């Protein structure tokens, strides 16, 4: 992506400037808050297809996220191939069985009880798409030499959040899944050693009988997450 002969500072006038009054800003902020309040983590999906173009548009939105030194240290692998999805499910469930059979602490298992999760992950095959998020430990100049990436976890976390938001705005349900370890994903998806899988995002339409855990609707009040000085 980067060329060594392009590493210099050049200024551009700020594009896409918005001019909103206080009332318009508040209206937009409240509408966005209300829309995101309807986002739910879903574990039950239909097999209804989702157009590739929708996934591409959402990933493109995620790619606009800010990042350390603008290195954009992320890569997204979108999967709809049934055979690959089955391989991911088989490998993920194997790791999850180890997790629930003693790989996790009692405290961790107890914390998960209100969520109702277990080692059974049919959504990894049922949903039309899986998106695997990779973090790039380092990048490559056009001449093949390495360069360091900065604030990789923070940058990838922001981009992932924007991806989840874009998918929700497109009317889709999602589920974030982090089997541990996840090295099998890099091997299965033929990603380079510079990349580390951070998350699997299940994407699709919720099943008619889809449910969510009641505890998921309990959110901290604004007074607990905001301090004004």
Domain locations in the chain as residue ranges:
40-207
Confidence of residue 9 (pLDDT cuts 50, 70, 90): confident
Task: Find the helix or strand (DSSP H, E) in which 138 lies.
Answer: strand 138-140
pLDDT exceeds 60 at position 1: no
d(CA 1, CA 139): 8
pLDDT at 59: 98
Task: Using alpha carbons, select from 157, 191, 139, 174 the residue that is nearest to residue 65.
Answer: 157
pLDDT in tens, 115-144: 999 999 999 999 999 999 999 999 988 888
Average pLDDT over residues 203-221: 96
181 upstream amide cis, omega within 30 of 0:
yes
Q: Which two tokens stand for residue 29?
A: 């902020």
pLDDT at 63: 98
* Length of the chain in terms of residues written: 229
68 in Cβ contact with 149 (< 8 Å): yes
pLDDT in tens, 44-97: 999 999 999 999 999 999 999 999 999 999 999 999 999 999 999 999 999 999
Alpha carbons within 13 A on the beta-carbon side of 166: 20
Give the CA-trace dihedral at 127, 195, 61, 14, to 10 degrees: 170
pLDDT at 181: 84
Q: Which two tokens stand for residue 171?
A: 């009317």
Return the percentage of the chain with pLDDT > 70, whole number: 97
pLDDT exceeds 60 at position 201: yes
pLDDT at 179: 82
pLDDT at 184: 93
- Starting at the earlier edge strand, list the strands of the sheet with 129-136: 74-79, 129-136, 195-204, 173-177
d(CA 202, CA 102): 26
The CATH label, of 3.40.718.10, 1.10.3720.10, 3.40.109.10, 3.40.50.2300, for the domain at 40-207 is 3.40.109.10
199 in Cβ contact with 132 (< 8 Å): yes
| pTM of the predicted structure, to 2 decimals | 0.95
pLDDT at 16: 92
pLDDT in tens, 11-54: 999 999 999 999 999 999 999 999 999 999 999 999 999 999 99
């Amino acid at each position: 992506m980067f060329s060594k002969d392009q590493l210099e500072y050049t200024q551009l006038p700020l594009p896409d400037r918005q001019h909103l009054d206080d009332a318009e800003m508040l209206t937009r902020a409240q509408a966005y808050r209300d829309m995101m309040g309807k986002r739910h983590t879903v574990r039950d999906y239909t097999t209804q297809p989702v157009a590739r173009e929708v996934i591409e548009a959402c990933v493109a939105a995620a790619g606009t996220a800010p990042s350390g030194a603008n290195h954009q240290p992320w890569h997204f692998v979108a999967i709809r191939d049934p055979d690959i999805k089955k391989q991911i499910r088989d490998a993920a469930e194997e790791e999850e069985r180890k997790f629930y059979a003693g790989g996790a602490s009692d405290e961790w298992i107890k914390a998960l009880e209100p969520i109702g999760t277990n080692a059974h992950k049919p959504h990894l095959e049922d949903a039309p798409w899986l998106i695997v998020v990779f973090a790039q430990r380092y990048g490559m100049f056009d001449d093949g030499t390495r360069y360091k990436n900065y604030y990789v976890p923070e940058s990838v976390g922001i981009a992932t959040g924007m991806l989840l938001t874009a998918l929700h705005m497109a009317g889709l349900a999602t589920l974030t899944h982090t089997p541990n370890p996840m090295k099998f994903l890099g091997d299965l998806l033929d990603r380079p050693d510079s990349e580390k899988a951070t998350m699997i995002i299940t994407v699709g339409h919720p099943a008619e009988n889809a449910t969510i855990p009641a505890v998921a609707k309990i959110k901290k009040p604004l007074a607990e997450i905001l301090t004004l000085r």
